[in-house]
Amino acid sequence: MRPIVLAWLAHHGLPGWLLPDYFELAALATLVGSLLALRLAARDGASHTHTARAIACAYLAALAGGTLFEALRALPAALAVHSLRPLAHPGRAAYGGLLFAIVAAAVYLRSVREPLAPFFDRVAVGAGLTFALVRTGCFLAGCDYGLPTAHAWGVRFPPGSIAALDHVRRGFVPRGAPSLPVHPTQLYEAALGLLAAALAAVPVLRGHRDGRAFAVFLGVYAAGRFALEFLRGDQDRGHAGGLSTGQWVSLAIAAALAAAWTYRARRRRISAANIRSATPPLPGPPAFEH
């Protein structure tokens, strides 16, 4: 899709740098999210240095984790063909980057004895914006495309794109033709990222720093991602038990959030019971002798 947009810009006398590529969009998303988190940290009186370092750890881990997750997902295919070639897939798994980033930031914050929940709440909105921009980059790159559709918003990717080559291989279109119209699942997920960011912003703006904003982001994204996976058309993203790898990760995130909510609710009940048991009873009315 990017070559088409670049040709349109050139036709109208506009410079190509107006259209950022995937990596430029990813860098822009990281910059915007980092500035937002640092501004919130300054407003909360939190450590500016530790916040910046935790973000740096998360960013580097996201780059490595996305690639590693993609390689692990391709491991069954590599074993089936007795070749390492499937492991050299150039893509990056969004969930791999997200999970590795969470772990890396948490490990750093624990090492410097900084609280986890406030930090993750401050990056929740930026995380949603990051997914929105990165998935827009995926749309321009032509990866993570959807199933063929007859809807008016279906997108035909140009000849030579990943979607077009896949459709040629599967006999859908002749060689040298564009792809069939497909669901623009990249843009669906970009909209999902914006929705998750908007909903996570509500507890952030209300001053909550107890983890609920990040939980909102994770819950909204996991639920939406689970549903959108049914519309994905790329076949090399891993499947097991009738579900894709992304759907299994979404279910794991939902289970983790449910367990965390149950644990916190139980802690509140225990704390409330302890307070009631420690509170002396109010004195009754004075007794009168007859």
Q: Taking the mean position of all CA atoms in its chain, how far away is CA 59?
A: 13
Q: What is the mean pLDDT of residues 33-61?
A: 93
Q: What is the pTM of this model?
A: 0.83
Q: How confident is the model at residue 2 (pLDDT cuts 50, 70, 90)?
A: low
Structure tokens at 123: 């990056």
CB-based contact 152:98 (threshold 8 Å): no
- Looking at residue 223, what is its pLDDT? 96
CB-based contact 215:260 (threshold 8 Å): yes
Q: What is the mean pLDDT of residues 192-219?
A: 95
CA angle 51, 70, 6 (to 5 degrees): 85
* Distance (Å) of CA 287 to CA 132, 220, 283: 71, 60, 11
CB-based contact 158:1 (threshold 8 Å): yes
- Rounded Cα distance between 105 and 62, Å, is 10
Nearest Cα residue to 204 out of 257, 260, 125, 126: 125
What is residue 214's three-state secondary structure?
A: helix
163-169: list long-range contacts, CB under 8 Å, 24+ apart.
Answer: 163/233, 163/234, 166/233, 166/234, 166/235
Q: How confident is the model at residue 119 (pLDDT cuts 50, 70, 90)?
A: very high
- Looking at residue 236, what is its pLDDT? 72
pLDDT of 186 above 80: yes
- Looking at residue 15, what is its pLDDT? 73
- Rounded Cα distance between 27 and 232, Å, is 25
CB-based contact 228:138 (threshold 8 Å): no
- Looking at residue 288, what is its pLDDT? 58
Least confident range from 131-145, 176-190, 217-231: namely: 131-145
Which one is predicted more confidently, 31 or 75? 31
CB-based contact 227:246 (threshold 8 Å): no
Pick left, alpha or beta for residue 45 (phi over 0 → left; psi -120 to 50 → alpha; otherwise beta). Answer: left
220: amino acid identity, one letter: V
